[in-house]
Amino acid sequence: MSNNENKSNEQEENEKAGKMSGIGAGVITGAAIGTSIMPVVGTFAGALVGGVVGSEVGKKVGGSLLDKFGSKKDSSQATNKTDVTAELERLAALHKQGVLDEDEFKAAKASLLNL
């Protein structure tokens, strides 16, 4: 799959996620406003209108935000975090066993965490 197709699929997924979030927020907001204006009928009408408006706003705004900040984690980044966690656990075990003293453990941990 080409990079443009992948980007397009990711954008579509982001738009869907934004649309669903917008629907939820729109329904809740619309229902609250509709209830304050005209109880019962206003609640339903407000929720309906809010859902429709929210879906479009969410699709455009939410989708754009997800595109900008990224909706999926990079798998290499997730692997790297797992490796860091495993290494911290290994260092802690070595420290507990007495292989590393307190200063060595702190230095190794700081190095690992780029502190």
The pLDDT, as a whole number, for residue 76 is: 54
Residues 55-82 have a mean pLDDT of 62
Confidence of residue 30 (pLDDT cuts 50, 70, 90): confident
The pLDDT, as a whole number, for residue 71 is: 46
- Is the pLDDT at 102 greater than 70? The verdict is yes
Residues 8-36 have a mean pLDDT of 76
3 state SS of 115: coil
My answer on whether 16 and 39 are in the same domain is: yes
Using CA atoms, how far residue 96 sits from 88, 103, 104, in Å, is 12, 13, 12
Where do we find the tokens 């909706």?
71
My answer on whether 107 and 62 are in the same domain is: no
- Is the pLDDT at 58 greater than 80? The verdict is no
The pLDDT, as a whole number, for residue 74 is: 52
Burial classification of residue 23, based on how many CB atoms lie within 10 Å of its CB (0-12 exposed, 13-18 middle, 19 or more buried): buried
> Number of folded domains in the chain?
2
My answer on whether 64 and 12 are in the same domain is: yes
My answer on whether 99 and 53 are in the same domain is: no
- Is the pLDDT at 78 greater than 70? The verdict is no
My answer on whether 82 and 102 are in the same domain is: yes
